[in-house]
Structure 1
Amino acid sequence: IFVEFDGCNWKQHSWVKVHAEEVIVLLLEGSLVWAPREDPVLLQGTRVSIAQWPALTFTPLVDKLGLGSVVPVEYLLDRELRFLSDANGLHLFQMGTDSQNQILLEHAALRETVNALISDQKLQEIFSRGPYSVQGHRVKVYQPEGEEGWLYGVVSHQDSITRLMEVSVTESGEIKSVDPRLIHVMLMDNSTPQSEGGTLKAVKSSKGKKKRESIEGKDGRRRKSASDSGCDPASKKLKGDRGEVDSNGSDGD
């Protein structure tokens, strides 16, 4: 997998063998949940104590530490990473209570972060599994180790079964075959992907700052690794990339 390291000035990215001896833990992004939070949250310069906060869960693909029932979560907005002893205090995002949903109404930055994440999850599901077509849409495709980082173009064709895309590159006009299950693709316009049976409502282009690519064909979203001794294990993520608040906070797998 091609990994971008957060907070490491000396090493920005590299290829990592998932099952190499030096890889201790590799965590895959999971569901969006409401997670218990003990520490106050800094919002607009003020520390606020909130019992539950939206967070992403992570499940291990490689686990040589023996995490067992321990659940890693990353709280949204400040991206603080915590390891919870178990999943008992977690609730799927769409099962949020009125008081929890009120938090989103009161804090615009958190609401926007949640919306962007849900939008990105939906788009990745559409790209890799359908049933909606992205043919005719403008996209950008992540290029590992490329000078520009992203390749821009229009989807000239997408196979409804394999989901393989043919992208007409804007700059050169060449046709590039892209598998969205392996390489991260982002929608560049706000138009709605369509299928013969109808359209998907409220899907917008992703504006996430993270970029990632997998050559394993497992999952196209962010992944964390604690394999490199020179960086904070909590800060490694795959090159990846993210409205109205939607009730679908699942991982789309």
Structure 2
Amino acid sequence: MAYKYREDLVGKRFLAVSGVTKINVNKVSEWGWKAGIIRAASLKDNKNKELQVLVEYDGVDWQRREWVAVYSRRTFRVFLVERTLVWAPRNYEGKDIKWPALTFMPLAADLTLQADAQPAEYLHDRHLEFLDYTNLLPYQRSGEIKDDVCQTWGGFPRATGGGAPGGSELGGDLARGAEWDAHQIGPEGCLESSVLSAISAECAEWRTIQDGQRILTTTPSVLGGCRAQVYRSAGATQWYTAVIVGVNEHTGELTVTDDTVLEEHSEDPSLVQMRLLGDGVIESIMKGEVVGVMPRRSRSNLQRVERETTKSPATTGGRKKTSAVRSNGQIAPTEPPPQPAAHADVASTRNVM
């Protein structure tokens, strides 16, 4: 089963054609396509004609981001949003191979794209090609690629008891079901190992984004105490990190404590991009495991630390205490080590004197 299309727009790639561009309908590749990523949205209803999205364009500094009116004819002739990830054919350096690519669907358009000229954006180099979506193989979840799919797209015969040709066990793993394997691209050696590693990492990142966003918007009640990176739609910094400390079950909004200023904010993950932090957190939640609650920092505790560490010796009975902070943010005073006992012969000498 392929990844299900998600309705929220944040975190998705987009393709757009400016409203002032002169268009030759027969040369779709020459329409002056712009690409980038959607960081925030003004409304949850994607069909609302007042919808605006905050976008960052590829190759442009993030500080030049802008809010754009998706349905404004003067702004865009075409505005497409990321749909899903597929395996698409590609001729790369003279070799016919398969390559992970994003497909798109129209959010707003006054032009119709022909069925055999739909845009596909390849991962890694973001090369744009125009293909027929009909015969593209969806990128699968782990364990869901079947034997017949491997035989058709894997570039090698179906694995039997002896594994893949040449004695490699990769073919057998793929036949049992795996969402990534170098053999899916083509014959061994068709791409450099560094390129294969980069593509594999980007596929894994895309999967993580989909799963993380689904958790944030559909099951936020399990996120109490989890750390997250939140896009800052206004301000001098692009992101801030925070701890999720509360959930509004009715609106889906999350209450987070900003690590930098230690203030609480209300954020809606369907309207502003958020990323869950921590190794294995998303995988654990997907498995139904309880994620450990992380301690919440507070301004009062930090102020107590500062007061304790700046006290003079006179205020502590002539001995300056050193303070330590426990993992729960409480102060744990540490007493100086006890003085060593005087040597017996020294004590006796003093008594004689």
Normalising by structure 2, report the TM-score. 0.49
Aligned to 1:73: 120
Q: CA RMSD in A?
A: 2.9
Name the larger-Rg structure. 2
Aligned-pair distance for 1:52?
Answer: 1.7
The structure with the largest helix share of the pair is: 2
**Aligned partner of 2:289 among 199, 203, 210:** 199
CA contact (8 A) 1:192 1:199 kept: no
Aligned-pair distance for 1:25?
Answer: 1.2
Amino acid of the structure 1 residue aligned with 2:89:
P
Aligned-pair distance for 1:92?
Answer: 0.8
Please give the alpha-carbon distance, in whole angstroms, between the structure 2 residues aligned to 1:81 and 1:134: 37
**Aligned partner of 1:28 among 75, 81, 92:** 81
2:162 is aligned with 1:110: no
| RCO comparison, higher one (Cα < 8 Å, 6+) | 1
Aligned-pair distance for 1:200?
Answer: 8.8
Of all paired residues, the percent bearing the same amino acid is 31
Amino acid of the structure 2 residue aligned with 1:129:
T
Report the CA distance shift for 1:166/1:9 in structure 2 as closer, same or farther (over 3 A): closer
CA deviations over 1:70-99 (Å, ceiling 9, x no partner): 421111111111121x22221111245262
Please give the alpha-carbon distance, in whole angstroms, between the structure 2 residues aligned to 1:134 and 1:21: 40
Residue-pair matches, total: 193
Aligned to 1:61: 107
Please give the alpha-carbon distance, in whole angstroms, between the structure 1 residues aligned to 2:198 and 2:226: 28
CA contact (8 A) 1:5 1:11 kept: no
Amino acid of the structure 1 residue aligned with 2:205:
A
Please give the alpha-carbon distance, in whole angstroms, between the structure 2 residues aligned to 1:178 and 1:66: 36
Amino acid of the structure 2 residue aligned with 1:24:
R
Aligned to 1:49: 95
Aligned-pair distance for 1:17?
Answer: 0.6
Aligned-pair distance for 1:33?
Answer: 0.7
Please give the alpha-carbon distance, in whole angstroms, between the structure 1 residues aligned to 2:222 and 2:197: 32
CA deviations over 1:42-84 (Å, ceiling 9, x no partner): xxxxx36233211111101011221142421111111111121
2:144 is aligned with 1:92: no
- Listed as ranges, the matches of 1:1-253 within 5 Å are 1-8=53-60, 12-22=64-74, 23-37=76-90, 39-40=91-92, 47=93, 49-69=95-115, 70-84=117-131, 86-94=132-140, 95=145, 97=150, 99=154, 101=181, 102-103=183-184, 107-130=196-219, 133-160=222-249, 162-192=251-281, 198-199=288-289
Report the CA distance shift for 1:181/1:175 in structure 2 as closer, same or farther (over 3 A): same
Amino acid of the structure 2 residue aligned with 1:25:
V
Please give the alpha-carbon distance, in whole angstroms, between the structure 2 residues aligned to 1:11 and 1:142: 13
Q: Secondary structure at the match of 2:121?
A: strand
Structure 2: unaligned runs, 5 residues or longer: 1-52, 156-180, 292-353
Please give the alpha-carbon distance, in whole angstroms, between the structure 1 residues aligned to 2:270 and 2:277: 18
Aligned-pair distance for 1:8?
Answer: 4.0
CA contact (8 A) 1:31 1:56 kept: yes
Amino acid of the structure 2 residue aligned with 1:74:
E
Please give the alpha-carbon distance, in whole angstroms, between the structure 2 residues aligned to 1:5 and 1:127: 25
Aligned-pair distance for 1:122?
Answer: 0.7
Q: Secondary structure at the match of 2:134?
A: coil
Please give the alpha-carbon distance, in whole angstroms, between the structure 2 residues aligned to 1:200 and 1:111: 28
Amino acid of the structure 2 residue aligned with 1:119:
T
Report the CA distance shift for 1:9/1:157 in structure 2 as closer, same or farther (over 3 A): closer
Structure 1: unaligned runs, 5 residues or longer: 41-46, 202-253
Q: Secondary structure at the match of 1:199?
A: coil
Q: Secondary structure at the match of 1:126?
A: helix
Please give the alpha-carbon distance, in whole angstroms, between the structure 2 residues aligned to 1:176 and 1:59: 33
Report the CA distance shift for 1:10/1:103 in structure 2 as closer, same or farther (over 3 A): closer
Report the CA distance shift for 1:34/1:163 in structure 2 as closer, same or farther (over 3 A): same
Amino acid of the structure 2 residue aligned with 1:21:
R
Report the CA distance shift for 1:49/1:114 in structure 2 as closer, same or farther (over 3 A): same
Aligned-pair distance for 1:112?
Answer: 1.1
